Amino acid sequence: MTESAPSALTSAVSVRDLTFSFASGDPILNNLSLDVERGERVALLGPNGAGKTTLSLHLNGIHEIQAGSVSIGDLHVNEDNLAEVRRRVGMVFQDANDQLFMPTVREDVEFGPANLGLSPAERTERANEALEAVEATHLADRAPHHLSGGEKRRVAVATVLSMHPEMLVLDEPTSGLDPAGRRELADLLVTLHLTQLIITHDLPFALEICPRSVIISNGSVVADGKTADILADTDLLAAHRLELPFGFDARRAQ
């Protein structure tokens, strides 16, 4: 008997010719196509207003698809499968306050598993496991709004890990973090064996943890390659309002 093996060939994310406009406006995404393989950690770079967040909000169905298609693994994103798409794609928003709204950290981390209909014992197990993964077990009984920015970010990651996602999408995860918080986040992300799409203006962070980078500009992919090559291309960076910190040498920093 022969068996086909389509799953081995399926991308984690496949975006095809995605075009999107807000009401009465020009297109924000223009025929955008992007594939991310399973297990890849990819940085999504680009100037303010390029469409990065808008793209990310298509990956778990927050924005309805107007033209083109988005697939998460073997699943086409559409309104019939939003619950499964949202379980597969863990979105970590730029502002952790958008993600944390329960009285305690534990309740926030159990919120997703509760929505999945898991039993109280299973929710507790999921929360314990997720909090341990982000080294936030000691924060379980704290009020989320009293946490520091770095602590909030870790807990926000735990709230999506507890859903056992297949991939993480993180929108500007280093914004507002001090150098130690940024370091801890990088250490955490590289230990998570999940597909990751990391939207960031922090180019050294992209270089450190993402072998591949994609630049989005005016709603289209304008560059896609090794992060080191992209960051060494000064003309490309300048054309899309991207700047390395003063004195930073992308080739030497690897």
Ligand X SMILES: Nc1ncnc2c1ncn2[C@@H]1O[C@H](COP(=O)(O)OP(=O)(O)OP(=O)(O)O)[C@@H](O)[C@H]1O
Site residues, ligand X (CB under 6 A): 22, 28, 46, 48-54
Can you name the residues that pair with 170 across neighbouring β-strands? 92, 198
Find the shortest distance in angstroms from Cβ 95 to ligand X. 11
Which partner, Mg ion, ligand X, none, binds residue 120 by CB below 5 to 8 Å per kind?
Answer: none
Which residues are near Mg ion by CB under 5 A? 53
Q: Which residue has the tokens 């990751």?
A: 196
Question: What's the min distance (Å) between Cβ of 46 and ligand X?
Answer: 5
Q: Which one, 53 or 220, has the nearer CB to Mg ion?
A: 53
Which residue sits closest to Mg ion, CB atoms considered? 53
Residue 46 touches which member of ligand X, Mg ion, none, C-beta under 5-8 Å by kind: ligand X
Q: Which C-beta is closer to ligand X: that of 164 or that of 240?
A: 240
Distances (CA, A) of 17 to 45, 49, 55, 78, 220: 19, 19, 12, 16, 10
Query: What residue 22 binds from ligand X, Mg ion, none (CB within 5 to 8 A, per partner kind)?
Result: ligand X
Q: Residue 82 Cβ, how far from ligand X at the closest point, in Å?
A: 19
DSSP H or E run through 207 = helix 203-209
Nearer to Mg ion, 113 or 219 (CB): 219
In the complex, the smallest distance separating the C-beta of residue 50 from ligand X, rounded to whole angstroms, is 4
**Which residue in 31, 25, 52, 96 sits closest to 242, CA to CA?**
52
- Closest among 217, 173, 167, 169 to 45, alpha carbons compared: 217
Nearest to ligand X of 15, 50 (CB atom): 50
Take residue 5 and report the two structure tokens written for it. 């093996």
Q: Which does 54 bind (CB under 5 to 8 A by kind): ligand X, Mg ion, none?
A: ligand X
Question: Would you say 22 or 101 has its CB closer to ligand X?
Answer: 22
Closest distance to Mg ion from the beta carbon of 117 (Å): 32
Query: Do residues 206 and 198 make contact, with C-beta atoms less than 8 angstroms apart?
Result: yes
Tokens of 175: 């914004």
Give the dihedral of Cα atoms 170, 175, 180, 183; nearest 10 deg. Answer: 30
Positive or negative torsion for Cα 24, 25, 31, 33: negative
Task: Supply the minimum distance, in Å, between the C-beta of residue 91 and ligand X.
Answer: 13
Taking the least distance from each CB to ligand X, the nearer of 21 and 81 is 21
